[in-house]
């Protein structure tokens, strides 16, 4: 596998709120290409333990290679690493209650997924309509696009993509079936709902987001994690979550508000933490990132 370039989003801010303690036990629920995990590992020390979840087999292999580079760099100070090649929603069945000093999740799509055409996440290059984070199982975006009826397709584009022109797009998709590639789908969407004056995003952006969320049950995964995280953390343990669109951020915000009201968490971020100007210039994908953090009481 070729070496991937990866810039972790809001790295300094995530480390600050995670408050990594040497010898602690931490979870990176979204290992990706190990950008955040590499930095956490360097702070944990030999007595620490880092549990890494990712349901994407390609990302897991790339991350292991990156963490071996960290091991070569810090030697005997490398913490124990535990790799869990599965969805983070399964954490509660694998981790002892009350054992974690901190849990970090970055809900964004990884560079590996976006930049590799064969994964089918991006409309900017020709590739199969896949979009599965776990390529070993589950329904593909191609199956959703070609098998859902028009009303169901319109509803999911509206709900998960917050796309106002969802019915027009769904009608065009049904008429153009079968659709088998990302570029083909992007052309159909662009013809049905072209960019309006002032639009800063590609016409297919929201529909692709909706399909990806549906294929991977992303919001269901987040809901499960939010429900289980309090029981996994020690008193004083930190929960740090990075969202990339309003649907994710709303789930986190509402869960934190409720947990704060019930005296389960102390919310550490009154407003979401966002990238600074320098990070946005260095990494344009950080522009939509919002970090929220809480400490278990």
Per-residue pLDDT of the chain (297 residues; tens, 9 = 90+): 444 456 899 999 999 999 999 999 999 999 999 999 999 999 999 999 999 999 999 999 999 999 999 999 999 999 999 999 999 999 999 999 999 999 999 998 887 788 888 999 999 889 999 999 999 999 999 999 999 999 999 999 999 999 999 999 999 999 999 999 999 999 999 999 998 887 889 999 999 999 999 999 999 999 999 999 999 999 999 999 999 999 999 999 999 999 999 999 999 999 999 999 999 999 988 999 999 999 999
Q: The whole model's pTM is what?
A: 0.94
Q: What is the pLDDT of residue 112?
A: 76
Element (H, E) at 112: helix 111-115
The pairing of strands 233-243 and 290-296 is antiparallel
Is residue 215 classed as helix, strand or coil in its secondary structure? helix
Q: What is the pLDDT of residue 111?
A: 74
Residues in the annotated binding site: 34-36, 54, 88, 106, 113
Residues 192/169, Cβ–Cβ less than 8 Å: yes
Which regions of the chain carry the CATH code 3.40.50.150? 11-112+219-296
Alpha helices in 126-217 (DSSP H): 141-147, 150-161, 166-176, 182-192, 205-216
- 3.30.460.10, 1.10.150.170, 3.60.10.10, 3.40.50.261: which CATH number matches 116-216? 1.10.150.170
Q: What is the pLDDT of residue 1?
A: 40
Q: What is the pLDDT of residue 3?
A: 44
pLDDT single digits (tens) 243-278: 999 999 999 999 999 999 999 999 999 999 999 999
Q: What is the pLDDT of residue 4?
A: 47
Task: Count CA atoms closer than 13 A to 1's CA, side-chain side.
Answer: 16
Q: What is the pLDDT of residue 23?
A: 98
Distance CA 153, CA 130 (A): 16
Q: Is the dihedral of CA 174, 179, 181, 186 positive or negative?
A: negative
Q: What is the pLDDT of residue 148?
A: 97
Q: What is the pLDDT of residue 71?
A: 98
Task: Locate the DSSP E strands across the chain.
Answer: 25-28, 49-53, 80-84, 100-106, 233-243, 265-267, 290-296
Which regions of the chain carry the CATH code 1.10.150.170? 116-216
Q: What is the pLDDT of residue 285?
A: 87
Class of the CATH-defined domain 11-112+219-296? alpha beta
Q: How many other CB atoms sit within 10 Å of the CB of residue 171?
A: 14
Is residue 100 classed as helix, strand or coil in its secondary structure? strand
Residues in the annotated binding site for S-adenosyl-L-methionine: 34-36, 54, 88, 106, 113
Indicate the average pLDDT of the chain: 95
Q: What is the pLDDT of residue 143?
A: 98
Q: What is the pLDDT of residue 6?
A: 65
Q: How many other CB atoms sit within 10 Å of the CB of residue 127?
A: 18
| Euclidean distance between the first and the last CA atom of the chain, given in angstroms as a whole number | 43
């Amino acid at each position: 596998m070729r070496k991937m370039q990866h810039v972790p989003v809001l790295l300094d801010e995530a480390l600050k709120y995670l408050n990594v303690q040497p010898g602690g036990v931490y979870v990176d629920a979204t290992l990706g290409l190990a950008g955040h995990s590499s930095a956490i590992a360097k702070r944990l020390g030999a007595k620490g333990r880092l549990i890494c979840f990712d349901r994407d087999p390609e990302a897991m292999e790339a991350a292991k290679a990156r963490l071996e580079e960290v091991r070569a760099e810090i030697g005997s100070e490398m913490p124990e690493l535990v790799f869990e090649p599965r969805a983070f929603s399964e954490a509660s069945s694998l981790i002892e209650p009350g054992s974690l000093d901190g849990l970090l999740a970055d809900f964004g799509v990884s560079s590996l997924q976006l930049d590799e055409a064969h994964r089918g996440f991006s409309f900017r290059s020709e590739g199969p309509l896949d979009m599965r984070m776990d390529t070993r199982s589950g329904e593909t975006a191609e199956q959703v696009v070609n098998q859902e009826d028009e009303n169901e397709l319109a509803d999911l584009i509206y709900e998960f993509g917050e796309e106002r022109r969802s019915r027009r797009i769904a009608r065009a998709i049904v008429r153009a079936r079968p659709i088998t590639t990302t570029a083909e789908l992007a052309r159909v969407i662009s013809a049905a709902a072209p960019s309006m004056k002032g639009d800063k995003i590609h016409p297919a952006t929201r529909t692709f987001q909706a399909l990806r969320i549906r294929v991977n049950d992303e919001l269901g995964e987040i809901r499960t994690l939010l429900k289980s995280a309090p029981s996994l953390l020690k008193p004083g343990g930190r929960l740090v979550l990075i969202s990339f669109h309003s649907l994710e951020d709303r789930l986190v915000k509402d869960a934190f508000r409720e947990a704060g009201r019930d005296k389960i968490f102390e919310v550490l971020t009154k407003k979401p933490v966002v990238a600074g100007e320098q990070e946005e210039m260095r990494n344009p994908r950080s522009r939509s990132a919002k970090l929220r953090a809480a400490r278990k009481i």
